[in-house]
Chain A
């Protein structure tokens, strides 16, 4: 079958440019996808991948450039246009309504309503058919809030299948999946491709891109670097393209192990819905040790951090810091035990965007800068200036709102606040999530510095590479429990992956 040149590409983005205040998100990018292809869009966080796809999906309007679908020029004024043209997007943050059922979520916006009335039984039937055909098991009657993360993703996928999408965009779909679930997702990609559809896979993980994609396009800082065939490249080459320089893993200093700083015994905790989110959690961390907790997000890690830092009440169990019982103590008292906390939510918990940089730096320690309840501005400014310079927080002034800081700078601010004081226990949750390579390296370096100074560190992260690089011991959390603890030197990724998925693994690494 001979095709005219333009029709070779199912999707073609030409010369796309998009600017936001202060940053060029997409700088004249050309991007094409063929029919029956799994095409990876690879790049660091902030490279512009999501922006580009949001333009394709009609969520954003490009400042310059054109979009062609199957050889014809199209204008995407809104998502409706994109959907009508057969484009479906599964976003990084699921666009689901917790109180809706699966059926309601899938048909929303495409209800097939006869004179306005919704036909639920008919929709349910179609959903069942689709889920069987593609191996996406789901109960159409369940409510979204009852579903696991993997199941929710299936609902997102079904949304697109229900609308007979032809071009599928997946934005970082594996960040919340176990390795096994990621594998099944990839085989789903391949079956879509076999049927002639196009799949665009946005990711920052090299290995995954290499594993499933036919071609890979690399973006860096808004610019197109190159589009290559997966079989003609390797990980090192891709990494160079993504980052522009060779990646060097930080060296973990050997530190002799000392006294116990944090001890957690038999911790149980419930969440607001009355579900048990922490079940009999026990572990300890010694001085100068980094204890990494691996696990898919939502298995109790945030609740564990909250329980230790006093933001969540435990129904049972105890927490000791250097022998002192701090179970269910208020956050202020725990802070006084020289505990630092780098929360996962930088913008909603770790900082107050409408406060100035200075006000954010003293958060948690504000009383230290006041005499009889009134702030001493010289004292405050001196300290803040010093710390901002030391940690290289780029801001026009210490009095400008923290809202204007980039992700990396905000994290520097938080690090500056937590680490510039003497810290004996540091809880850090997803510290490098959403940061570019430079900021990531900086954060990891600071963590290792703290470790060298003798802090005990609890590192919660979804990034297995990060866990392996930095931790001395690795624990895995699954459904609120610690299901395995191994020293890093003896751990292997397969085993950890299985534990993360809930399989029972014995010492020799064979799944039961």
Chain B
């Protein structure tokens, strides 16, 4: 009976990925590529930890996580949108900064130990369903929140005028400008949204998953979220699917060494190779897909005449 716990873990682990990836989707759709997702998430985890440690209330952690994510993305927005600087280097800078600053702040504040995080909540009736019950309906509040957010964001992108403008700005910012759309404002909003979402996603690790903090807690998940966005062709539905898939592999990898140790699973691949799978898979998927609907203005700062 490995399957059910595995899928349950997959749903849980998919939560932060989906949050970060959907935020990144908005950001990229508006033309700003953010490779600093890992940094945002680290800031978010740190925020979650600090907030919960200080107040004993995990929701303050969530709030603080979002705020830290917003701060990081505000820096990026200013450097890349207002100043027009290079988005890739900025993302790298945020990553390195986030790596260091997250542990720096926690040590400075002399915080250590666990936090009172979120416990899984059983949804009445639904959580008793035979297969899906334990997988989908015994998750933490953050996971349920994520589902809601995902639906809202998809509606915004496809049905609302804001979403239309975001797509326009990412493809032909000049065209949008001539129609009176404020390109920079739209990009700011998308980048900040990405920061908030990624910050929220980061706080998941400290508040719902591990309930403590250490340097590098996100262990590259930010990069995986980034990969899912590009590999899924900037389509939010595929993004969610991909995140779930990678989370499943992640979950499997975590358990695999225990399973192998107990002889339950043959020693086909040592644990590190499992961890490699998402990355190799991303590259293979990219290699196989022929046409990608890249937002045309992705990565190019917009300068007015």
Contacts and interface: CB of A to CB of B under 8 A. Distances in A.
- A–B contact with Cβ pairs below 8 Å: the answer is yes
Interface stretch (A103-111, A128-136, A314-322): A103-111
Nearest to A84: B180
Given A59-B305, A79-B179, A109-B181, A95 B159 contact: no
A97 B171 CA distance: 7
A113 B174 contact: no
Contacts of A451: none
Interface string A244-258: 000000000000000
A91 B161 CA distance: 24
B164 A111 contact: yes
A54 interface: yes
Contacts of B160: 113, 116-118
Contacts of A83: 179-180
Given A97-B172, A98-B171, A100-B168, A113 B177 contact: no
Contacts of B159: 117-118
Contact of B305 (A54, A95, A99, A110): A54
B161 A95 contact: no
For chain B, what secondary structure do more than half of its interface residues adopt (helix, strand, loop), or is it mixed? helix
A111 B179 CA distance: 11
A99 B293 contact: yes
A96 interface: yes
A89 interface: yes
A159 interface: yes
Interface in A81-102: 82-84, 89, 91, 95-100
Contacts of A180: none
B172 A96 contact: yes
B164 A104 contact: yes
Interface string B177-188: 111111000000
B187 to A, nearest CB: 16
A73 interface: no
A118 B174 CA distance: 22
A221 B293 CA distance: 43
Contacts of A99: 167, 171, 293
Most central of B160, B177, B178, B181 by chain A CB within 10 Å: B178
Contact of A89 (B161, B178, B182): B178
A297 to B, nearest CB: 19
> Which secondary structure dominates chain A's binding surface?
loop
Interface in A127-148: none
- Classify chain B: how many residues form its interface, as a range: 20 to 34
A95 B164 contact: no
Contacts of B161: 111, 113, 116-118
B234 to A, nearest CB: 11
B104 interface: no
A182 B166 CA distance: 34
Nearest to B295: A99
A79 B168 contact: no
Interface string B123-165: 0000000000000000000000000000000000001111011
Contacts of A96: 172, 175
B60 interface: no
A180 B161 CA distance: 37
Nearest to A109: B179
B162, B180, B305 — most chain A CB neighbours (10 Å):
B180
A59 B162 CA distance: 22
B298 interface: no
Interface string A52-92: 00100101100000000000000000111011100001010
Contact of A116 (B162, B177, B180): B162
B176 interface: yes
Nearest to B179: A109
Q: Which of A107, A109, A110, A116 has the most CB of B within 10 A?
A: A109
A161 to B, nearest CB: 14
Nearest to A83: B180
A219 to B, nearest CB: 19
Nearest to B180: A80
A113 B165 CA distance: 12
Contact of A79 (B162, B165, B167, B177): B177
A98 B172 CA distance: 9
Contacts of A80: 180, 182
Nearest to B304: A59
A95 B179 contact: yes
A111 B181 CA distance: 11
Nearest to A112: B161
The CB with the most chain A CB atoms within 10 A, among B161, B165, B177, is that of B161
A113 B164 CA distance: 11
Nearest to B174: A95
A95 B164 CA distance: 15
Given A95-B175, A99-B171, A108-B181, A60 B164 contact: no
Contacts of A107: 164
Interface of A: 54, 57, 59-60, 78-80, 82-84, 89, 91, 95-100, 104, 107-111, 113, 116-118, 159
Given A54-B305, A108-B176, A118-B160, 16 more contacts: A59-B177, A59-B305, A78-B180, A79-B180, A80-B180, A82-B180, A95-B175, A95-B178, A96-B172, A97-B175, A98-B171, A107-B164, A111-B164, A118-B161, A118-B164, A159-B179
13 contacts: A59-B304, A79-B177, A79-B178, A79-B179, A100-B168, A100-B171, A107-B164, A108-B175, A108-B176, A111-B161, A113-B160, A117-B161, A118-B159
Task: Give me the 10 closest cross-chain CB pairs, A-B, nearest first.
Answer: A80-B180, A109-B179, A95-B175, A111-B161, A113-B161, A79-B180, A97-B171, A116-B160, A83-B180, A97-B172
